[in-house]
Structure 1
Amino acid sequence: MRYACKYAVIKFQPYAETEEFANVGIVVFCPKNNYFDFKIAPKKFSRVTNFFEDLEGKVFKYTLDMLETELLHIQNFFYSLGQKRNEQFFDEVTRLRESVVRYGNIKIVGTDNPKLLLNKLYDRYVGRNFLTKEYREQIMVKTIKQEFKSKNIGINYTEKLLTTQLRNVRLPLVAELEEKHFKAIKPLAFTEKKTTQIIEHGELWFNKIKWLLKEDVLKPDDILLPIEGPQEKGLTKKAFNEIVQELKQLEINIVNYSDTTAIINFATNKQRPAPYIVH
């Protein structure tokens, strides 16, 4: 029998101000057969504890212990409710709230084996089989910050919300050189398997940057995009190249993420990077 199941990714976000997070679990609910189950990361999960360097390992363990206890209570409670009330309850459980544990947007997928679906989703979002662009971009930002620290560049790049009259854009690495004169660095990862996802991600940031330039919040010379393209050749590479060509129309600085020297030179005002060459 085919079931329409709801699922949400469980995220661990210990520092709300940085908005950095790591996927640590999955919850799945299938209304038709009243199935509710979850799978969370092991308590000693080095990918998470290594990512949040300043976080004590016992904090992560305690958080997952509490999460597991809560989800077990919820699982038992589900069996006592009817289908309609369970749907409402699942939506309430996974709603956005201020906490170190948050749930991603609810998604719906069809399956004839809910347990197998849970394991596949876990492997995709939490295990080593999948790396989201959001998570990859967090790693890129963290690596650049570490490089700045090791080189002692003398300029402070931090996350900042750049505002205009009509919209706001949050960037992870911004330095205010003088009043209202900003330099910004935004790493972009195009690691998706689908061309539509690559195009959508690129166009999203094309429009955000275009708006900042139009509102004179940033100058083209003062923004750098270190980018990382897909490993595979073919349609995904073609989509990536088209996005790069579109971004280049903004006349901003674009470099390969691996070009540390170019990133440092931009950050320290030593030299504008050479034009990015599409391969």
Structure 2
Amino acid sequence: MNYFCNYSILRFLPYPETGEFVNIGVVLLASNGEFRYKIETKRQRVTQFFHKLDSKIYIRARTEVDQELARLSSFFSKHSQQQSTQLAAFKSLILPRETMMRFSSPGTIAVDRVDEALESIFDHYINLSFASKEYEEKVLERQLGHLLAAANLKQRYKEDRLGTSDYPVKFPYVLLDEEGAAQAIKPIHLGHDEPAKILEHGDAWLAKVRRLKKVQLLARDTLFIASPPAHKPKLAAAYTDIVDQLAEIDSVRVVSNSLPEQLLLDEIRKGIPESIH
């Protein structure tokens, strides 16, 4: 390893009261004097998470921090041979501040190439390169759990398996009544960056639902809460194909997780029998 790099993750935190944030960028200072930074240019990951936030607020804050980092790049380049000056400036940059744009505690990594280090850190913390579809769906399930808990509905559901002993299908939220499974809710991640991945994951759930339907063990209301992909024609076409095929199955509904919370709760309540409302 040729270089040591100090780095920090840039976070967008619009509501200090909740402490929730989205990682949007990386700043990095290498032992050879190089200063690098990268900020996510797409706003969807922020606006989907903070769906009530005016996107103009984020865009303005991102522009301001981008301009500040560009200015600092010139400073670090000018003092590339003064390591102590650079370190002091880097520490000052990432100091905790009461603003919407904040930096994480610093980390250190040993690397052969500084540019590759920046991309690697960015891919991990912003692109979530480690995340599988299972990881993504666990995040969606936790978000749904928080929503149900806030509406005093979570206690009515439990994780359960529907189907036969030879073919059990797990749903994270199942509501049971005297007649069996009244409602089963499944958050499904269809926000992949390739049409083939959307179709592959969607087809897997289509097969499960069709088999449950065939043996008459599908919940009377099966609600898929789907995370959509980016607004690109091929991705949208694959997403629509899966959603339409699921919705064609009797007693199956699909809604987007980008719906406002109240509308999402309204969709969930549609499947709760009147007898247990």
Which of these two proteins has the greater Rg computed from alpha carbons? 2
Relative to the length of structure 2, the TM-score reads 0.49
Relative to the length of structure 1, the TM-score reads 0.49
